[in-house]
């Protein structure tokens, strides 16, 4: 499993996850939508922790800048 998430992508994912979790725990979003958004936030945090997004794989997308070795 190759890492395909870069630093900027990680930062954006964490900010979105924290925002969604905040909306849920402050009861700004409730019910099924709230549960769905909380689950989505968890998925974002999991992908950040493993540096891999399975949704990028079919299209060959990567935001991870690879270091060139000389």
pTM for the structure as a whole: 0.86
Q: How confident is the model at residue 67 (pLDDT cuts 50, 70, 90)?
A: low
Structure tokens at 9: 């992508």
pLDDT at 1: 78
Predicted local confidence at residue 34, as pLDDT: 97
Domain ranges of the chain: 7-52
Please tell me the predicted confidence (pLDDT) of residue 36.
98
Q: What confidence tens digit (pLDDT) does each residue in 16-40 have?
A: 999 999 999 999 999 999 999 999 9
**Interval 46-57: pLDDT, tens:** 999 999 999 998
């Amino acid at each position: 499993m190759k890492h395909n998430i870069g630093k900027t992508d990680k930062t954006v994912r964490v900010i979105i996850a924290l925002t969604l979790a905040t909306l849920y725990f402050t009861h700004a979003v409730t019910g099924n939508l709230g549960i769905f958004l909380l689950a989505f936030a968890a998925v974002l945090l999991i992908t950040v922790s493993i540096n891999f997004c399975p949704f990028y794989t079919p299209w060959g997308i990567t935001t991870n800048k690879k270091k060139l070795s000389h």
